[in-house]
Amino acid sequence: MLASVRLRLPDGSTTTLSPGDIVGRMGSAALVLDDPRVSEAHALVSLRGAELQLLALRGMFAVNGEPSSKVILQPGQLLSFAEGLALEVEAVQLPDTLAALEGDGLPRQVLGGASSLFVGPPPRLVPGTALDADAWIWSTGPRWRLRVGEAAPPADLSPGDGFSVGDRAFRLTTIHIERAGTDATVAQGRVGETLQMVAGWDTFRIGRTGRPPVIIGGVSARLLSQLADVGTALSWEGLARELWPADPDRDSLRRRLDVALSRLRSRLRSSGIRSDLVRSTGAGYLELVCYPGDVVDDRN
């Protein structure tokens, strides 16, 4: 119940990536390519509908020798991130259903190969193994494992099983793959009107029924457009390096991103749009939050 792609690396070893995993030079990437020609956050594995895709973030790649920024992953493809640095797609796994987690205050979300759970409030699920998380869930292939707190021993977890973290209850469930890839992150307790969003990189249009649209430009538009294009939670560093590719300083990027987020949220509030449209999921990840009825038209 885990969508994944298996890649053969130039040294003959293989690695398996799941939706949300980043390929790049930075140490926190799921697949680290130690080459100066590779960007820190070069590409992202993403589930779109019933397809597993590779999306360019900060650098292009080639598919069988042809430059590309987006590709549906299929066995036999050669993915080149630099000359002489090619990965072969050995297998793509797309089961009918995927494992997902839901619970008190946590909408149903698809699980990656390893996920970290924070109880909040609000509770949030992020990809990877964050050291400060309250619980961790990971796949061993045929089964799922759970550990609540650092001192607790791991336990098996099957669809339908429930567990508690603090005073909140959660449950492992399943979701059909076609819904898993197209549903945006959904938050419970929906308040307010639905949004019709058009992402165009340098502009981001937010429409509301019966009200004039709000047109956002500049860095705020590019920030929103990048999150809309990725379609999943993205690390702050990967997002910042996409917005300011000429700035090599990590601390400078963090400051610039914090300022940009503050200005964006202020603009959203002043326009009568919910300021949690961009939300931190914990462990350094950001996401575009869509409620039931919201629509995103990605024209990047």
What distance in Å separates the CA atoms of residue 40 and residue 286, rounded to the nearest whole number? 17
Among left, alpha and beta (phi > 0; psi -120 to 50; other), residue 105 is: left
- pLDDT for the residue 14: 94
Specify whether the CB–CB gap between 206 and 5 falls below 8 A: no
- pLDDT for the residue 211: 82
pLDDT beyond 90 at 111: no
For each of the domains in the chain, give its residue range(s) and CATH number, in order of start: 4-93 (2.60.200.20), 97-181 (2.60.200), 196-298 (1.10.10.10)
- pLDDT for the residue 182: 45
pLDDT tens-digit map of 116-156: 899 877 788 877 778 888 999 988 877 899 999 888 899 99
pLDDT beyond 70 at 193: no
Token code pair at residue 29: 């990437």
pLDDT beyond 80 at 30: yes
Contacts of 211 (CB under 8 A, 6+ apart): 193, 272
Specify whether the CB–CB gap between 169 and 145 falls below 8 A: no
- pLDDT for the residue 243: 93
- pLDDT for the residue 282: 53
pLDDT tens-digit map of 233-258: 788 888 998 899 899 898 899 899 98
- pLDDT for the residue 185: 42
What distance in Å separates the CA atoms of residue 107 and residue 190, rounded to the nearest whole number? 11
